Amino acid sequence: MIVLVQATVLTVGLNGKNEVLRELPIQLITMRTGRGAARSLKNEKVDSVVSKWELPDMDGRQFIKALRVVKPQMPTIVFVRAGDKNAEIAARSSGVSAVLTDEASDELFRETIANVLGLKTPTTIKAISAAQNSRR
């Protein structure tokens, strides 16, 4: 099965969560810090950003503000600590596309990214391929 890359996603501060995204038809660019990510957005073609709310070098408000300067309409998903209502409220009020807690399941994480980007997931592609093969 051949799956074409449908989008480029920049992840910031996610560490092990990146592996969950390998099943999606996306290219991943990973960064550890908000400042590095904001700089890379000036030079890279990126379709979406997925970030932790609290980064080693800045908080989520600062990062989203820096992101909006460079890419005002960029679909953005952030992870907040489970139970941190203040962070969740701040993230939602910053205008991000989706907020997940760090306890979100891998399936929910993949589905959220696929929905935000309007991706055809590998499962969808397999179903389409199977239907086309049955017509032959």
Q: Find the helix packing angle between 34-43 and 60-70, rounded to 10°.
A: 10
CATH of the domain at 88: 3.40.50.2300
User: Is residue 77 situated within a structural domain?
Assistant: yes
Q: In this model, does residue 126 exceed pLDDT 50? A: no
Would residue 27 count as lying in a domain?
yes
Tell me, yes or no, whether 53 lies in a domain.
yes
Return the pLDDT at 121: 56
Q: What is the pLDDT of residues 15-25, one digit of tens each?
A: 878 888 888 88
Q: 62, 54 in Cβ contact below 8 A?
A: no
Coarse DSSP helix, strand, coil percentages of the chain, rounded to the nearest 5 percent: 50, 20, 35
Judged against a pLDDT cut of 50, whether residue 114 lies above it is answered with yes
Percent of the chain with pLDDT over 90: 56
In this structure, is residue 33 part of a structural domain? yes
CB 44 within 8 A of CB 8: yes
Q: Give the per-residue pLDDT at 130.
A: 45
Reduce the DSSP state of residue 24 to 3 states and report it: coil
Give pLDDT tens digits for 48-89. 999 999 999 999 999 999 999 888 999 999 999 999 999 999
User: Is 132's pLDDT higher than 80?
Assistant: no
For residue 120, what are the domain limits? Answer: 7-135
Question: How many structural domains is the chain composed of?
Answer: 1
Looking at residue 124, its pLDDT comes to 46
95: left (phi over 0), alpha (psi -120 to 50) or beta: left
Q: Is residue 2 in some structural domain?
A: no
Helix, strand, or coil (residue 84):
coil
Does residue 125 have a pLDDT over 70?
Answer: no
Q: What does the pLDDT read at residue 2?
A: 52
**How many other CB atoms are there within 10 angstroms of residue 83's CB atom?**
10
Pair of tokens at residue 29 = 């660019």
In the predicted model, is pLDDT for residue 131 greater than 70? Answer: no
The whole-number pLDDT of residue 21 equals: 86
Q: Is residue 1 part of a domain?
A: no
pLDDT, residue 3, reads: 54
Q: Is residue 95 part of a domain?
A: yes
Among the listed residues 131, 10, 28, the one whose alpha carbon sits nearest the alpha carbon of residue 75 = 10
Among the listed residues 88, 44, 72, the one whose alpha carbon sits nearest the alpha carbon of residue 12 = 44
